[in-house]
Structure 1
């Protein structure tokens, strides 16, 4: 299997794994939900987990891959405020935890670029 064939499946796996963890261990995600959002943090945690699972399914299927990968790129941009919230909230935690929270911020860039690349490759194949 070529790299271009593996890439969407790896992205789908990442999204699926993240989506499942929103339901298995929701408390860690609840803490990242920006307080400015209306409603309960748990509702946002479950909604974002469901969105990740839907995106994973869409990216895994060649027929829906292009649109789902574009949506995944937008999703990665959309969750940036949660990562910023986490970095702010964890600024007084021990250095390894604080550094992990800060490291999540630039990680969004390669995720967005990865999803865009999957979408572009899907366009070229159709």
Structure 2
């Protein structure tokens, strides 16, 4: 079960990171306006999602990658908060936008299992 969880998490972050490059406009839309260099931030966060996702697959880099993901999840929290509070995302149910906020804690807990 531990391996399934590990591979699922790694795959989730690798795919999410690649999507930053495939569809950067999606991520730019959720970027709070006070964040400088939004396009660069989207690319950098996507790069690190892929890097840490791949890093989870190797025992030598697993712990460092898990820590990296925890820090990344904390760093992107303002984007999720912005989505929930900005009133700009009418195509997504409001309850779902708010449900994403505690999901960050679950994802942090999940990553901490691989430290």
Instruction: Give TM-score scaled by structure 2 length.
Output: 0.90
Match of 2:44 in 1: 47
Q: TM-score, normalised by structure 1?
A: 0.83
Distance 1:36 1:65 in 2: 33
Secondary structure, counterpart of 1:79 in structure 2: helix
**2:97 aligns to what?**
101
Q: Are positions 1:20 and 2:21 aligned together?
A: no
Query: More helix by proportion, 1 or 2?
Result: 1
Q: How many residues align?
A: 115
RMSD: 1.6
Shift of 1:91: 6.1
- Runs of 4+ displaced beyond 3 Å: none
Unaligned residue ranges in structure 2 (runs of 5+): none
> What is the aligned partner in structure 1 of residue 62 from structure 2?
65
CA distance in 1, matches of 2:88, 2:96: 11
- Bigger Rg over Cα: 1
How much has 1:54 moved relative to structure 2? 0.6
1:84 equivalent in alignment to 2:65: no
* Residue ranges of structure 1 left out of the alignment (5+ in a row): 120-126
